[in-house]
Amino acid sequence: MDKSMYAIEVENLTKIYGKGETAVTALRDANFKVRPGELVAILGPSGSGKTTLLTCIGLINEPTHGRVVIDGTAVADDGWQSGIDLKKMRREKLGFIFQAHNLIPFLTVQENVMVALEINGLTRAEAKNRSVELLNALNLGHRVNNYPSALSGGESQRVAIARALANRPSVILADEPTAALDTENGKNVMDLLKKLAVENHSAIMVVTHDHRMVENFDRILQVSDGRIAGETNNM
């Protein structure tokens, strides 16, 4: 099939930590594809390989074996492909939502979101407009001039989410994005992700233990002992 039909392609993806007797296989022969506009959950117990899978797709953790294709570009084939600017790919194609907020403490909420936009070439006026749009969507419009130290954990997480979505990436990867949120704000985040998947044609993969949110996904991948153990289609 035409590769342009997929935003993410993973073939026989394997990640081994260490060597010899101390080697640990965190991920083994994962295979799947994600279309633009699709929202996919990754479920499984702690230590099953979910976050390793996400970081290999996200060009953070180099795969030991296997192939990763992002938006039609092969970035890994038994290791990183030579000639690929991984930093540029991450900046232009990928949006990350991690459990750690990693907000810049000396920037306001709005500036934390704007910095991601300005790095990619938007004017300050464009960055301001886009940041306000996202922060309002996440019920943070009243916090634009606050610094991270004034925020609750849930508010900080939502700012990090706004920053990750700022550049309308073609692939969004999220590690437990609703874990620190109450039901209402968790639902707002999932509604926004679903909206972005449709409107921006973004492929979104979410590691989650939050079964409150499972109904929002188009597809669910079950991970167990480093393998894709099953798949459920909600569409």
Higher-pLDDT residue of 73 and 211 is 73
Pairing between strand 219-224 and 39-43?
parallel
The residue whose two tokens read 């000396």 is 106
> Residues 141-190: pLDDT tens digits?
999 999 999 998 888 988 998 998 888 899 999 998 887 788 888 888 88
Average pLDDT, the chain: 89
Amino acid at 219: R
DSSP assignment letter at 15:
E
Which residues make beta-bridge pairs with 41? 206, 220
Percentage of residues of the chain with pLDDT beyond 90: 57
Q: What is the CA radius of gyration of the chain?
A: 18
Higher-pLDDT residue of 214 and 8 is 8
Residue 80 pLDDT > 80 = yes
Whole-number Å distance between alpha carbons of 170 and 75? 15
List the beta strands (DSSP E) in the chain: 8-17, 24-34, 39-43, 65-70, 73-77, 94-97, 171-175, 203-207, 219-224, 227-233
Q: How confident is the model at residue 91 (pLDDT cuts 50, 70, 90)?
A: confident
What distances in angstroms separate CA 218 from CA 87, 160, 205, one per listed residue?
29, 24, 10
The upper half-sphere exposure of residue 67, i.e. CA atoms within 13 Å in the direction of its Cβ, equals 8
Higher-pLDDT residue of 160 and 1 is 160
Q: What is the pLDDT of residue 209?
A: 79
Q: How confident is the model at residue 191 (pLDDT cuts 50, 70, 90)?
A: confident
Q: What is the pLDDT of residue 3?
A: 44
Q: How many CB atoms lie within 10 A of CB 172?
A: 26
Q: What is the pLDDT of residue 32?
A: 95
Query: Which domains are delineated in the chain?
Result: 37-61+82-233 (3.40.50.300)
Q: How confident is the model at residue 4 (pLDDT cuts 50, 70, 90)?
A: low
Q: How confident is the model at residue 107 (pLDDT cuts 50, 70, 90)?
A: very high
Q: How many CB atoms lie within 10 A of CB 11?
A: 17
> Residues 47-70: pLDDT tens digits?
899 999 999 999 999 999 999 999
Q: What is the pLDDT of residue 2?
A: 44
Amino acid at 5: M
> Residues 13-22: pLDDT tens digits?
999 999 888 9
What distances in angstroms separate CA 145 from CA 76, 159, 222, one per listed residue?
41, 12, 41
Q: What is the pLDDT of residue 235?
A: 64
The residue whose two tokens read 């459920």 is 232
Q: What is the pLDDT of residue 167?
A: 86
82 phi/psi in degrees, rounded to 5: -70, 145
- Mean pLDDT, to the nearest integer, of 89-108? 89
- Sheet with 24-34, side-by-side order of all strands: 24-34, 8-17, 65-70, 73-77
Whole-number Å distance between alpha carbons of 6 and 11? 13
